Amino acid sequence: MRIEAALRAARDSGRKLLVPYLTGGLSDDWVASLLAVAAAGADAVEIGIPFSDPVMDGPVIQAASSAALDRGATPVSILDDVSGADCDVPLVVMTYANIVHRAGARRFAGSLAAAGIDGAIIPDLPLEEQEPWAPAAADAGIENIMLVAPVTPDDRLARIVEQSRGWVYAVGLMGVTGERITLAASAGVLGRRVKAMTDKPVLIGVGISTPEQAVEAAASCDGVIVGSALVRILLDGGGPEAAAAFVGSLRSALDEAY
């Protein structure tokens, strides 16, 4: 319960939550970037374990995933890199079902726990396909963060919210990850629907890339997840400092607004 406890405590202190995402294994100094964004005001950090066929991801994270794979990154190498890191916020991995399936749910959950990871997001495991992953994660102490979408009807929403651990991930728009010019109207609608249903932390992700969008989205929920905008900075050659500066700008905007 490390993630949920940490996020509840932060929220209850009056702070909006911020979870940056970066692709694991993207560069030699990717762990330095991870630690830098963690120190720049993140409440948790998502680490993408790259998959060859990421259907929930738009062009930026697709490019980062193939770049990391081309460098030879594997789930094992990424977890090895992380396990030596001394990070004081909870860490979450985001990857696809076949990475879990190939390793085996129990073995994969165990390897996350051994590397000091606290939670996992597997977007292509919907409610109907939670076995055997959810129980394996629970047994290993890994919080299984589930997703809800703008098209999720109320009865499904209630079941997903009930089963999700760590936080509830509200997908802000109908579409894949990536930067958008404006925040989708669906984000606020979904945020409010989920908040009305649960006391668990509710974060909106997908389509949030600027401090202004983060502030706007956070009005309807407990906080935001920002991925593609950060990954683009890293893909363009920005190092830990540039990454931290961007995350710091999100943090300040949220702190000033709330």
Enzyme catalytic residues: 46, 57
Bridge partners of 148, per DSSP, are: 170
Are 142 and 175 contacting, i.e. CB atoms less than 8 angstroms apart? no
Are 84 and 108 contacting, i.e. CB atoms less than 8 angstroms apart? no
For the beta carbon of residue 88, count every other beta carbon within 10 angstroms: 8
Q: How far is the CB of 179 from other proteins (least distance, A)?
A: 14
Please state, in angstroms and rounded to a whole number, the distance separating the CA atoms of residues 234 and 146: 27
Please state, in angstroms and rounded to a whole number, the distance separating the CA atoms of residues 254 and 258: 6
Residues near other proteins, by CB under 8 A = 51-56, 58, 62, 66, 69, 74-76, 96-103, 123-129, 146-153, 156, 160, 171, 174-176
Question: Is the CB of 27 or the CB of 152 nearer to other proteins?
Answer: 152
Q: How far is the CB of 257 from other proteins (least distance, A)?
A: 28
Token pair for 116: 């000091």
Question: Is the CB of 89 or the CB of 221 nearer to other proteins?
Answer: 221
Question: Is the CB of 74 or the CB of 249 nearer to other proteins?
Answer: 74
Q: How far is the CB of 43 from other proteins (least distance, A)?
A: 23
Question: Is the CB of 53 or the CB of 139 nearer to other proteins?
Answer: 53
Q: How far is the CB of 66 from other proteins (least distance, A)?
A: 8
Q: How far is the CB of 114 from other proteins (least distance, A)?
A: 17
Question: Is the CB of 108 or the CB of 246 nearer to other proteins?
Answer: 108
Question: Is the CB of 10 or the CB of 202 nearer to other proteins?
Answer: 202
Q: How far is the CB of 12 from other proteins (least distance, A)?
A: 28
Please state, in angstroms and rounded to a whole number, the distance separating the CA atoms of residues 244 and 258: 21
Q: Is the dihedral of CA 148, 83, 109, 232 positive or negative?
A: positive
For the beta carbon of residue 69, count every other beta carbon within 10 angstroms: 15
